[in-house]
Amino acid sequence: MMEKKPISKKIQDLAVNHAKSDGRAATTDQGLKISHDSNSLRAGSRGPSLLEDFILREKITHFDHERIPERIVHARGSAAHGYFELYEDMSKYTKAGILTDTARTTPVFVRFSTVAGSRGSGDLARDIRGFAVKFYTEEGIFDLVGNNTPVFFIQDAMSFPDLVHSVKPEPNNEIPQAASAHDTFYDFISLATECLHNHMWAMSDRGIPRSLRMMEGFGIHTFRLINSKGKVHFARFHWKPQLGVHSVTWDEAVKINGADPDFHRRDLWDSIEKGQYPSWELGLQLIPEADEHKFDFDLLDATKLIPEELVPVKRIGKMTLNRNPENFFAETEQVAFHPGHLVPGIDFTNDPLLQGRLFSYTDTQLSRLGTPNFHELPINRPLSPVENNQRDAQMRMTINKGRSSYFPNTLGGGCPYLSKIAEGGFDSHAERLEGTKIRERSESFSDHFSQPAMFFRSLKPWEQQHMIDAYTFELGKCITEAIKLRMLWLMNQMSGELAQQVAEGLGLAIPTDIDEPINRNVGADADPKSQQPGPAKNYLDKSFALSQTFLKSETIATRQIAVLLADGFSQKDLMKKKEAWEAEHAFVKLIAPHGGSVRSYTGQEHPVTASIVTTESVLFDALYIPGGEQSIAALKDQGKVFKFINEMIKHCKTIAFDGDATMLHEMSAAKQFPADKAIFINASAADIARSIAHHRNWKREPLTSQIAV
């Protein structure tokens, strides 16, 4: 195996100045040493402040201008640094260095985000998650800007402002925040039926992930890969999490947002700080150029996925996140992604959504960061040299030398010179194009029902039930009955089971027909009825890769295990299991009736992670209660102990009781599930760990409706 190249030291400079400030004198922004930083200049100790106080003016002015416009979408984000390593040379398909050079270790910066909410919204909103990766390659920046779903809502960028306007808080009252359960959103998507597929993903458990570390990422669009001989393959990018794909229930999501609205952000940060680095494998779906039209869907349609049963995902490398940002604003907030940041060997297709994004992202960075020089911010700087004749503009940091700022030139020695394609110069794919200028969508984009129907069929029964519950909740929040009926009619085109159960939950009947045209994304001169989506086709009954159960993980690494205990608990019970679970890199947290420390019945003191009044069961993946007569006697008088236990049962999590703790088993809802394989009494640490690794016992869920919490 070839020795890996070390990560360039330049990546360290992309964050912030790492020099310690200890022992350095305070100064103004101009470098002037100051001796006061708490009192403004006054005319006497009780007199008026003086306008000449330039130190006060500088400090206040900087503060007043600290905030920049937040992103219109993807405003709330979390990020981390890491690196990418390639398993296999892919030069058969591309000349891109990061996909051909297995000796490289390429630095990356990854930003995860929610789409609809503002920067201050909660992490557990039901929403699509952004998954944007910036590769600092030797050939320049490559940005793979995607989501945690393999498809997008719309087919053409022209509709993007309308989509976002519909899902944002309604403009008359700015309600609701970070939520799609309102009339304007459902009015739009029920008329723009291309949205139905991605909306179904949002209504699935993918819309409320357990962790940013436990969700897939997708490049969404079809790209071109081009090898050194000019041969083309179409490609779609996938990120496969090595911890598996897991979610929380809606009931948990609502409670988590109340207990810890920074839940996902904290989870990512803490895992990296503790050395449990999240990782994803990069996969490619590769299609020869000659096979572009062989599918029952169009590869250029961003609302369609390529089932893995038709084109397997080839895993070619791994990305690991191993360093948290040192300054949230300078890095996470100022990072600027752009799908147009490419390297030789990767190129665009004619996907109309992708083509529109190529304009939109530059425009966005100009609005947010205020200058075309956003590439000079440390987090956005490429590691490769930047040489061109672009000059000036706001916040220019580079001091260019010499007389010539144009090309061609002789005064500058002809520099910067142009690179030959064979020497790494970028060259767009030479695609033959001809056609009439026309505002029209290809007929191959008109199937809006087949893939959503396949997605629903591919889910496990418990995943289907969660989706039914999500639609029932969201449409139940809508006021206009006509919108609800329109949505029920559309659901019925995809799945009669889905439509019927949602209709029952809403107390409505499914319409047999809709008088108005549904698909409004046609020109004013077109006959709307002639361009309605056709009936759903069944070209693949199920795609097993679409269920969260497809990506399995047998590890309990980074799982949060709550231990309920009080003074007098069994030291032997606790330590044997705690040591075993921590050896598998789980996080074991001690929860007691009070803070400080808790003492075992043999006298050992243990620091308490949190008192039971300051935390909630929904923040943990599993619950363990050790024995100890005195401990259990104290716990049984705590009402929240039973809320903790019963919520764990209701949310289908693993729970274990030892020794005297069986009293709490008999007093709680756990008693109602004598045959449950995820409820343990005096079990081994290994058996409990295997259950936690399975995430949830979803078979319990239909039986939990009567549990009071």
> Is 649:671 a contact under the CB 8 Å cutoff?
no
In terms of Cβ atoms closer than 10 Å to its own Cβ (0-12, 13-18, 19+), residue 69 is: exposed
Token pair belonging to 217: 């990422």
Provide the residue type at 392 as one letter.
D
DSSP 366: H
Token pair belonging to 35: 């001796």
Tell whether pTM > 0.95.
no
Q: What is the dihedral of CA 272, 555, 148, 227, to 10 degrees?
A: 90
Token pair belonging to 610: 């949190």
> How far, in Å, CA of 157 to CA of 353, rounded?
5
> How far, in Å, CA of 358 to CA of 339, rounded?
6
pLDDT digits (tens, 9 = 90+) for 236-286: 999 999 999 999 999 999 999 999 999 999 999 999 999 999 999 999 999
Number of Cβ atoms within 10 Å of the Cβ of 284: 24
Contacts of 366 (CB under 8 A, 6+ apart): 372, 374
User: How much is the pLDDT for 14?
Assistant: 42
Closest CA to 378 of 118, 107, 70, 63: 107
> How far, in Å, CA of 169 to CA of 185, rounded?
9
> Is 83:322 a contact under the CB 8 Å cutoff?
yes
Long-range contacts, 669-674 (Cβ 8 Å, 24+): 669/645, 669/704, 669/707, 670/645, 672/703, 672/707, 673/649, 673/700, 673/703
DSSP 329: I
Quote the longest CA-to-CA distance of the chain. Answer: 90
> How far, in Å, CA of 463 to CA of 78, rounded?
27
Superfamily (CATH H level) for 554-703: Class I glutamine amidotransferase (GATase) domain (3.40.50.880)
Domain ranges of the chain: 77-176+205-380, 460-529, 554-703
User: How much is the pLDDT for 20?
Assistant: 45
Token pair belonging to 457: 């069929």
Provide the residue type at 577 as one letter.
K
Provide the residue type at 367 as one letter.
S
Catalytic residue (choose from 18, 36, 65, 74): 74
> How far, in Å, CA of 267 to CA of 175, rounded?
28
Give one DSSP letter per residue of 49-98, joined into a string.
BPTT-HHHHHHHHHHHT---PPPSSS-SEEEEEEEEEESS--TTT---GG
Instruction: Classify 460-529 by CATH class.
Output: mainly alpha
> Is 256:619 a contact under the CB 8 Å cutoff?
yes
Strand 610-611 and strand 605-607: the pairing is unpaired
pLDDT digits (tens, 9 = 90+) for 498-513: 999 999 999 999 999 8
Specify whether the backbone of 140 is left (phi greater than 0), alpha (psi in -120 to 50) or beta.
left
Annotation marks residue 147 as catalytic: yes
Catalytic residue (choose from 18, 62, 65, 147): 147
Contacts of 676 (CB under 8 A, 6+ apart): 697, 700
Annotation marks residue 373 as catalytic: no
Q: For the stretch 595-609, what's the b/e string if a residue is b when 16 or more beta carbons lie within 10 angstroms of its beta carbon?
A: eeebbbbeeeebebb
DSSP 218: E
Return averaged pLDDT per consecutive 10 residues of the chain, 709 residues in all.
46 43 82 90 92 91 91 97 98 98 98 97 98 97 98 95 96 96 97 96 98 98 96 98 97 97 98 98 98 96 98 98 97 96 95 93 91 94 90 90 89 87 87 84 92 98 98 98 96 97 98 76 64 84 96 94 97 96 98 96 96 97 98 95 97 97 96 96 97 96 88
User: How much is the pLDDT for 15?
Assistant: 39
Q: Which fold has domain 77-176+205-380?
A: Catalase HpII,  Chain A, domain 1 (2.40.180)
Token pair belonging to 563: 């231990």
Residues present in the chain in total = 709
> How far, in Å, CA of 650 to CA of 701, rounded?
7
Token pair belonging to 689: 């760990």
User: How much is the pLDDT for 438?
Assistant: 86
> How far, in Å, CA of 531 to CA of 520, rounded?
9
User: How much is the pLDDT for 12?
Assistant: 47
Closest CA to 264 of 655, 610, 558: 558
pLDDT digits (tens, 9 = 90+) for 320-367: 999 999 999 999 999 999 999 999 999 999 999 999 999 899 999 999
Task: Compute the radius of gyration of the chain from its Cα atoms.
Answer: 28
